[in-house]
């Protein structure tokens, strides 16, 4: 069975989706709709930059969502539909649009606000994130417990075997780094992000998101959606809404989400959106997995032809 997976923040780059925009009228309409929904020229920022402005959370989130849905629509119009979907953090909104649970225009506005709330939840310079390589999840969680005397530090992303991202206060991250290295971590890499995403420090952002979600119509997903926060399916509008609120301050259980799909017979994965981060993680989760990366680069017709052969 076929599952689509959608990337999250960090996959953005200046020019993403430009070749599709130039080639397909319906893609132009998607980008134009995003501009209208937000009330500013997001498309211009995506295609022309500057990169440091595109990288800001408040801009990167709607930009990645828009590019991802444009790429999804291209495959959809070729007659290929997924049997299930999932998305990494921000990518969960793309997955919900694909599952017809959230309208695209609403999703663009929501992730713009989500990005703003997440950025404003913690003063700049107080928090951050760090990738820990070479330790098991329970070891990382134990290291976080030991480092908690220095401040908040928590497991934020369970990405794949041997890669867990932690988030928290800068001083606690530094203490955790010492502990992880003493536990045998291969590397600890401080990430170039502006806030401790998916940690309890984001709770104020989740609380602010409640009001925004209340203004939006959410439907029961038309196809199965695996949510990050529970690594399980959300089947009703209420479950979708709850998962979106909780995922802001809770961990992304990506490895568990992929394994849940695999255990249910999903054996072909298509990463739909800019970059190929999730494809890389998928290979580490299961080296025998079948996958295709559709990021709008190169010749999309060739990728679609490959996909039709595979399914």
Q: How far are the Cα atoms of 18, 31, 70, 91 from residue 272, in angstroms, in the given order?
A: 15, 16, 9, 10
The DSSP line for 150-196 is: GS-EEEEEEEETTEEEEEEEHHHHHHHHHHHHHTT-SEEEE-S-SS-
Active-site annotation holder among 11, 68, 88, 198: 198
Number of H helices, E strands in the chain: 14, 10
Based on the residue annotation, tell me whether 89 is a catalytic residue of this protein.
Answer: yes
Coil, strand or helix at 133: strand
Q: What is the CA radius of gyration of the chain?
A: 19
Burial of residue 134 (CB within 10 Å: 0-12, 13-18, 19+) is middle
Q: Using an 8 Å Cβ cutoff, are 248 and 202 in contact?
A: yes
Bridge-partner residues for 115, per DSSP?
Answer: none
Please work out, in degrees rounded to the nearest 5, the angle formed at the alpha carbon of residue 15 by the alpha carbons of 282 and 95: 40
C-alpha–C-alpha distance, residues 74 and 173, integer Å: 42
Catalytic residue (choose from 11, 68, 88, 89): 89
* 272, 275, 278, 282 alpha-carbon torsion, rounded to 10°: 100
Q: How far apart are CA 282 and CA 278, in angstroms?
A: 6
| Cβ atoms within 10 Å of 48's Cβ, excluding its own | 13
Chain-centre distance for alpha carbon 217: 21
Report phi then psi at 292, rounded to 5: -135, 135
Q: Which residues are catalytic, by number?
A: 89, 198
């Amino acid at each position: 069975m076929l599952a689509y997976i959608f990337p999250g923040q960090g996959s953005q780059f200046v020019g993403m989706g430009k070749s599709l925009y130039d080639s397909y009228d319906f893609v132009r309409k998607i980008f134009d709709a995003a501009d209208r929904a937000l009330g500013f020229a997001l498309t211009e920022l995506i295609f022309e930059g500057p990169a440091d402005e595109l990288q800001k959370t408040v801009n990167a989130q709607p930009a990645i969502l828009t590019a991802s849905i444009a790429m999804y629509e291209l495959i959809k119009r070729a007659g290929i539909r997924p049997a299930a979907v999932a998305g990494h953090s921000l990518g969960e909104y793309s997955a919900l649009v694909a599952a017809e649970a959230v309208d695209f225009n609403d999703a663009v506005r929501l992730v713009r606000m989500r990005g703003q709330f997440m950025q404003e939840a913690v003063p700049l310079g107080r928090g951050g994130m760090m990738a820990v390589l070479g330790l098991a999840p329970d070891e990382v969680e134990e290291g976080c417990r030991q480092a908690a005397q220095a401040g908040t530090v928590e497991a934020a992303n369970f990405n794949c075997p041997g890669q867990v991202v932690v988030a928290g206060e800068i001083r606690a991250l530094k203490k955790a780094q010492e502990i992880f290295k003493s536990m045998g971590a291969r590397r600890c890499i401080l990430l170039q992000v502006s806030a401790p995403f998916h940690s309890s420090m984001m709770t104020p952002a989740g609380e602010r998101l409640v009001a925004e979600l209340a203004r939006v119509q959410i439907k029961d997903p038309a196809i199965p959606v695996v949510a990050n926060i529970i690594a399980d399916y959300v089947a009703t509008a209420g479950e979708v809404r709850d998962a979106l609120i909780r995922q802001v301050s809770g961990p992304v259980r990506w490895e568990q989400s992929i394994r849940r799909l695999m255990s249910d017979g999903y054996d072909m994965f298509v990463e739909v959106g800019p970059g190929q981060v999730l494809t890389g993680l998928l290979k580490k989760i299961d080296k025998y997995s079948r996958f295709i990366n559709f990021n709008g680069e190169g010749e999309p017709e060739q990728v679609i032809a490959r996909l039709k052969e595979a399914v």
